[in-house]
Structure 1
Amino acid sequence: MTERKPAGVGFEGWIERQIREAQERGEFDDLPGAGKPLGGLREPHDELWWVKDKLRREEGTALPPTLLLRKEAAAAREAAGRASSEAEVRRILAGINARIEDAIRKPMSGPPLNLMPFDVEHVVGEWRESAARTARPAPPGAAPVDERPAAPGRLAGFLRRFRPAAGRAERREQA
């Protein structure tokens, strides 16, 4: 449709002529989705159907970048906990720490980030403890281990103070 409508020709006739010529040239043959039913005809009307469809097709998200980075940091922390080697833990944390540090240097849109880079040595130490626990079973009669996941980054050490220590409740009962 690069040519202009000639004077004296109606819009409908001019458009119909262009469609007919394109059909004769075969420009409508083998289009994607040809012969397939239109999707979403039985669903209720939604004005933003095309936005939701595009996000679904492109596997995108409507979250602001800062919230998306928080979700990625939480996923990276979980992945580091499930890692099979110390090198893999370090690689995962180095990747997410680089993204967090970049976001701190160049603020992103959305709510405040409120996220600090992970303390790699602390997380690796936790990974070693977890690997040692799973490698050998606890002897019978041993004190139960606190199975709650640690908070990410430097906040973990601070929050650990508020966790009840194993055996502390037992000592209170004896007193």
Structure 2
Amino acid sequence: MTGRKPGGSSFESWVERQVREAAERGEFDGLRGSGEPLRHLDRPFSAEEWAAEKARREGFDVSAMLPPALALRREREVLLRDLAELRSVAEVGAVVEGFNDRVRELYRRPADGPLVVVALLDAAEVRERWERARPAPAPVQEPPAAVVRRRRWWRRAR
């Protein structure tokens, strides 16, 4: 592609000529998706859907694009699903308290959209679920007793 548009030609004709020449050289041959119809032409364009799809294709977490109330609901689901990964009762308590603080803060602010109910977590119930979700500790095996080898009497006599 040339760097500058020649004077006296319209931008449209210059771009179309560049594309036509590249196609004649075969630069578009073998591209991924070549010959396939464009997807989603039957539905109206939505910038939010486009951004979410782009983020998924790139491997990003789309939960950051959620409204705060829905993000907290998602966080609650993930927290309850991954309870077994927490290491101690103190860590469970800290996670539950931090989540409940964020929910209370959400309810203190004026609502931006429709009301989305996010329930507080009950610390005792979450602790019980954590204890049930944890894998059973492996039985402690005592090391084998050291074998005392007795020396023969004739070896002691030497």
Query: Per the shorter chain, which TM-score range?
Result: 0.3 to 0.5
Q: Which has the higher contact order (CA 8 A, sep 6+)?
A: 2
Which of structures 1 and 2 has the bigger CA Rg?
2
